[in-house]
């Protein structure tokens, strides 16, 4: 257990090792560690940013969906309204048309009846004249008896 | 056991003797053939085994870390890189927790201390006879007397190694103190504490007392740092040697002591590193 030159040798070796470690070993490892730390921090940052972006996008998508649903409902509503309106209109038109047709048919019928009445009256009046002629065996002057005949026809 | 005709005492002494090369007063520069010759050499001697193993293990550590450092990627680390990064981060955190000054040196210094001391301590777990026996075989090939081939495997059981490191740390303590506080600050630290008086005359009386106390405190740092590591490792080694003399019983006993020793090995390396950081941070910080 003697103190001797070994002590100095050990001290020199120690100094050399420390110097070597400081120059060549420590810096690259430390640098790599720091770079990785930065990379991981960046990665985490990006991840949280992406999560935030995703949330925003989801919110937007929801918003759009909600809006389009609303629009679709509106369009559907309008279409319903429009169709019922159209049906109503069609019904109205049909009714009017029908009424008009009925009215015209009625007036035609009336005209026909009137015409038939007129004809009938004329024929009756002619028949009456013929009958009267036969009875009287003389001619009845149309002109002189016109008024009488018209009165007769009107009474029929 | 090495050499079957040895007494237990001789066996232990043989194991505790370093392979020494030095300037013997009679033989000149030569290998020491006995403990007596080694101690006769005085200061001008070198423990070849201590230096060889410590430099070898230090180089192993640096080579391993350099290799990992060169292949280092910022991507997913694997294998060796993982381990190296773990160590570097562990040391870096320890330093950051304790040392608040600015220094490029402290962290690599601490890493070197921790890994190097750990590796040197780790040699303790190699069964005590294997490497000395190999060394004897090699020595015999070179024509040496096997009884005179000494070989101590664990560098930290050599007080020269531990004191060599702790004195280097001591040098750094003084360097950092002077760099941060100047020569006057250093001298002031040695003489104006712990007793302090506003009265100049009383203060002058306090100075020698302070100087004595503070010098002891300062010198106690490297001495305790070196001796703590040396003492722990030496005691552990001694127990390994004693266990190795117990015949078959040594197998379980060696295992138990080795498992326990793993703790001591790591702990001592950590303590050496931590105390170095603490001492240096004390040198840098103002009271």
pLDDT tens by residue, chain B, 287 residues: 444 567 888 888 888 888 888 888 888 888 887 888 888 888 888 888 889 999 999 999 999 998 888 887 777 777 888 888 888 989 999 999 888 877 888 999 999 999 999 999 999 888 888 888 888 888 888 777 777 788 888 899 988 999 999 999 999 999 999 988 889 888 888 888 788 878 888 888 888 888 999 999 999 999 999 999 999 999 999 999 888 888 888 888 889 999 999 999 999 999 999 999 999 998 888 76
pLDDT score recorded for residue B119: 94
Q: How many whole angstroms from its chain centre is CA B272?
A: 8
The rounded percent of chain B whose pLDDT value lies above 90 is 36
Contact A33 B70 (CB under 8 A): no
Residue range(s) defining the domain that contains residue B74? 2-284
pLDDT score recorded for residue B278: 92
A131 lies within 8 A of chain B by CB: no
* Residues of chain A found within 8 Å of residue B45, distances taken between Cβ atoms: 2, 4-6
* Residues of chain B found within 8 Å of residue A14, distances taken between Cβ atoms: 112, 116, 164-165, 168
pLDDT score of A105 more than 60: yes
pLDDT score of A135 more than 90: no
Q: What is the CB neighbour count within 10 angstroms for residue A48?
A: 10
Is the Cβ–Cβ distance between A26 and B181 less than 8 Å? Answer: no
Which stretches within chain B are classed as H helix? 8-15, 35-40, 48-70, 80-98, 106-122, 130-141, 159-191, 200-244, 250-284
* Residues of chain A found within 8 Å of residue B77, distances taken between Cβ atoms: 36
Is the Cβ–Cβ distance between A33 and B78 less than 8 Å? Answer: no
Interface test with A, best of B44, B69, B169, B226 (most A CBs within 10 A): B69
pLDDT score of A114 more than 50: yes
A40 lies within 8 A of chain B by CB: no
Confidence of residue A1 (pLDDT cuts 50, 70, 90): low
Contact A29 B165 (CB under 8 A): no
Is the Cβ–Cβ distance between B222 and B169 less than 8 Å? Answer: yes
Per the structure, how many domains does chain B have? 1
pLDDT score of A142 more than 70: no
Contact A18 B104 (CB under 8 A): no
Interface test with B, best of A8, A12, A15, A18 (most B CBs within 10 A): A18
Angstrom distance (rounded) from CA B241 to CA B250: 10
pLDDT score of A72 more than 70: yes
Decide if the complex's ipTM is over 0.85: yes
β-pairing, B20-24 with B28-31? antiparallel
Contact A21 B112 (CB under 8 A): yes
Q: HSE on the CB side for B253, CA within 13 Å?
A: 13
Residue B232 falls in the annotated catalytic set: yes
* Residues of chain B found within 8 Å of residue A33, distances taken between Cβ atoms: 85, 88-89
Contact A18 B105 (CB under 8 A): yes
Q: How many whole angstroms from its chain centre is CA B76?
A: 35
Is the Cβ–Cβ distance between B276 and B110 less than 8 Å? Answer: yes
* Residues of chain B found within 8 Å of residue A26, distances taken between Cβ atoms: 88, 107-108, 111
Kindly list the distances between the CA atom of residue A127 and the CA atoms of A120, A132, B115, in Å, as whole numbers in the listed order: 10, 8, 153
- Of B94, B166, B232, B281, catalytic: B232
Q: Which of A7, A11, A28 sits opposite B70 (nearest CB)?
A: A28
pLDDT score recorded for residue B10: 83
| Smallest Cα distance from A51 to chain B, Å | 24
Helix (H, G, I), strand (E, B) or coil at A156: coil
- Of B59, B78, B197, B224, catalytic: B224
**Mean pLDDT in residue range A65-72:** 96
pLDDT score of A122 more than 90: no
- A contact residues 4-23, partner B, Cβ 8 Å cutoff: 4-11, 13-15, 17-18, 20-22
Contact B41 A26 (CB under 8 A): no
Dmax (CA) of chain B: 74
Q: Which residue reads 């040198």 in tokens?
A: B283
């Amino acid at each position: 257990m003697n103190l001797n030159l070994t002590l100095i040798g050990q001290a020199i070796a120690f100094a050399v090792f420390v110097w070597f470690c400081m120059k060549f070993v420590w810096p690259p490892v430390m640098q790599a560690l720091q770079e990785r730390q930065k990379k991981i921090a960046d990665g985490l940052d990006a991840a949280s940013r992406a999560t935030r972006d995703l949330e925003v996008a989801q919110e937007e998508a929801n918003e759009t969906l909600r809006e389009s649903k609303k629009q679709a409902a509106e369009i559907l509503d309008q279409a319903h309204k429009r169709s019922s309106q159209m049906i109503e209109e069609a019904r109205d038109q049909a009714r009017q048309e029908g009424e008009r047709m009925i009215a015209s048919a009625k007036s035609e019928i009336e005209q026909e009846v009137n015409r038939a009445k007129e004809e009938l009256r004329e024929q009756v009046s002619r028949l009456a004249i013929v009958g009267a002629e036969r009875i009287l065996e003389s001619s009845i002057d149309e002109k002189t008896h016109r008024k009488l005949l018209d009165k007769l026809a009107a009474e029929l | 056991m090495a050499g079957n005709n040895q007494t237990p005492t001789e066996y232990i002494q043989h194991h505790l003797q370093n392979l020494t090369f030095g300037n013997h007063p009679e033989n000149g520069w030569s290998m020491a053939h006995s403990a007596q010759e080694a101690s006769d050499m005085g200061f001008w001697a070198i423990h070849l085994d201590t230096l060889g193993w410590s430099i070898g293990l230090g180089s192993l550590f640096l080579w391993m870390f350099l290799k990992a450092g060169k292949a280092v990627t910022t991507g997913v680390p694997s294998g060796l890189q993982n381990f190296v990064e773990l160590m570097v981060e562990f040391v870096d955190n320890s330093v950051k927790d304790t040392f608040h000054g600015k220094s490029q040196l402290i962290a690599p210094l601490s890493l070197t201390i921790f890994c190097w001391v750990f590796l040197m301590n780790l040699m303790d777990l190699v069964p005590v006879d294997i490497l000395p026996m190999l060394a004897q075989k090699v020595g015999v090939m070179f024509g040496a007397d096997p009884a005179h081939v000494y070989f101590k495997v664990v560098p930290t059981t050599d007080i020269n190694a531990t004191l060599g490191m702790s004195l280097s740390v001591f040098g750094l303590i003084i360097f950092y103190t002077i760099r941060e506080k100047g020569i006057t600050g250093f001298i002031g630290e040695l003489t104006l504490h712990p007793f302090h008086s506003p009265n100049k005359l009383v203060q002058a009386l306090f100075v020698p007392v302070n100087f004595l106390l503070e010098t002891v405190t300062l010198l106690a740092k490297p001495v305790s740092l070196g001796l703590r590591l040396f003492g722990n490792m030496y005691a552990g080694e001694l127990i390994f040697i004693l266990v190795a003399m117990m015949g078959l019983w040594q197998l379980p006993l060696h295992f138990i002591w080795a498992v326990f020793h793993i703790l001591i090995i790591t702990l001592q390396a950590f303590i050496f590193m931590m105390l170095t950081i603490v001492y240096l941070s004390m040198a840098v910080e103002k009271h």
